[in-house]
Amino acid sequence: MESLRIGVLGAARISDKAIVVPAQLTGHRLVAVAARDRSRAERFAADSGVERVLDSYQAVIDDPDVEAIYNPLPNGLHGPWNLRAIAAGKHVLSEKPSASNAAEARVVRDAVAASDVKFMEAFHYRYHPVIARMLEIAGSGELGELQNIDVHMSFPLADASDPRLNLALAGGATMDVGCYAIHGLRTLGAVGGGEPSVVSATAVEPAGNPGMDETMEADLVYPSGLTAQFISSFTVPEMDFTMRITGSNGEAFAHNFCVAAIDDRIDVTVDGYTRTEEMGKKSTYTYQLEAFADHIRHDAPIYTDAQDALVQAEFIDAVYSAAGLPLRPSSAI
C-alpha cells in the first residue's frame, strides 16, 4: 500500500501512541506538524520523526504534500478544524468526540457527503479483536438470553485546569471517556435489536465548575428490552475500562475493551466454569491506522464514519439532556 502522507494538528500527548507509533509500525509518513508553541512542535517533530514543522494548523492543512489530517486538538476544536481540512480536500482522522454536539456533527457529516474526502472518528477500540469477540460471544447464544450490559470507562483526573474539565472546550467525563462507553454500547446494538436509547442519567458536577460532569451514570435500553448501564468518572482511584455482558447462562467480561494492549483478556463464565481468551496485544491504534489507510486507498468499509459520528453525537447530547446539564458548546476558529 502506498504510504499515507499525514499532517498533525498540535503536539498533543495522545499523538505518540495514537499516530506516531502506529505510523512507524505501518510505514506511513508524518509529513508536517504545527502547534501553538512552535518550539513544542519542533521538539515533537524531532522526537517523532515528523518531516517538517510549519507555523500554523492552517499551514499544515494547506501543505500540498499532506493528504490526510490527524486532529488531536481539545474537543471543542475538533469540529472547526475538521471542517477546515474537509474544505481543503484532505482526509480526516479526528480524535473523539469529533464534534462538540450533534448540530456540529451534522455540519461535518454534510461537508463530508458533499466532498470526495474520507472521514474517520478515532474510536480505535472498534477495530480490535476484543470488541469483535465480545460481539461474537454475545450473539452466539452461549450466554443464554441476554439480560444486561455494564460498561465502565473511568480514570483519575486530579488537575482542575485540565482542558478535559473545561466546558468552553467541550470537556466532561462523558465527552472524554464516556463517549467510549456509549459507542461500545451502541456497537452492541447488533445483539440488542438496534441502537439503544437513554432511560435516565445522573451527573456529578465538580465544585465551582457548573455544567461540567466529573462523573456520569446512565441507564439505557435496547429495542429488544435488553438493559444496559455505563459509568464514566474522573474521580476513581485507578483506570477502569471494563465491559460485562450478562446472560441467563453466564457472562463475558472484557478486562479492558477500550485499550486492549494493556489487557486483552476476556473471561467467559458459563454454568460456573470460566475460561480466559487472550485476543492479542497489538495496539488498537495500529489497527485503527491500518483501517483508515485501507479506507482511503481501497475504499474499504469502516465502522466510525461521519454518519456514525453524528448518531454518536446525538446520543451524547441525549445523555447530557437527561442529566440536566447543558450541551457542549460549539467553538469558532
Question: In this structure, are residues 186 and 194 in contact, taking their beta carbons and an 8 Å threshold?
Answer: no
Q: What pLDDT score does 56 carry? A: 98
- Where exactly are the structural domains of the chain? 5-124+287-305, 129-280
| Residue from 17, 90, 96, 118 carrying the catalytic annotation | 96
Question: In this structure, are residues 229 and 216 in contact, taking their beta carbons and an 8 Å threshold?
Answer: no
Question: In this structure, are residues 79 and 98 in contact, taking their beta carbons and an 8 Å threshold?
Answer: yes
What letter does residue 177 receive in the DSSP assignment?
I
Question: In this structure, are residues 56 and 75 in contact, taking their beta carbons and an 8 Å threshold?
Answer: no
Q: What pLDDT score does 1 carry? A: 84
Q: What pLDDT score does 68 carry? A: 98
- Domain 5-124+287-305 falls under CATH 3.90.190.20: no
Q: Which residues pair with 277 in a beta bridge?
A: 266
What letter does residue 3 receive in the DSSP assignment?
P
Per-residue pLDDT of the chain (333 residues; tens, 9 = 90+): 899 999 999 999 899 999 999 999 999 999 999 999 999 999 999 999 999 999 999 999 999 999 999 999 999 999 999 999 999 999 999 999 999 999 999 999 999 999 999 999 999 999 999 999 999 999 999 999 999 999 999 999 989 999 999 999 999 999 999 999 999 999 999 999 999 999 999 999 999 999 999 999 999 999 999 999 999 999 999 999 999 999 999 999 999 999 999 999 999 999 999 999 999 999 999 999 999 999 999 999 999 999 999 999 999 999 999 999 999 999 999
Give the residue carrying C-alpha cell 469529533.
98
90 classed as catalytic = no
Q: Is 68 left (phi over 0), alpha (psi -120 to 50) or beta?
A: beta
The interaxial angle of helices 129-140 and 179-187, nearest 10 deg, is: 40
154-163 core/surface letters (b: 16 or more CB in 10 A; e: else) = bbebeeeeeb
User: What is the rounded distance in angstroms from the CA atom of residue 296 to the CA atom of residue 289?
Assistant: 11
- CATH architecture group of domain 129-280: 2-Layer Sandwich (3.30)
User: What is the rounded distance in angstroms from the CA atom of residue 67 to the CA atom of residue 54?
Assistant: 15
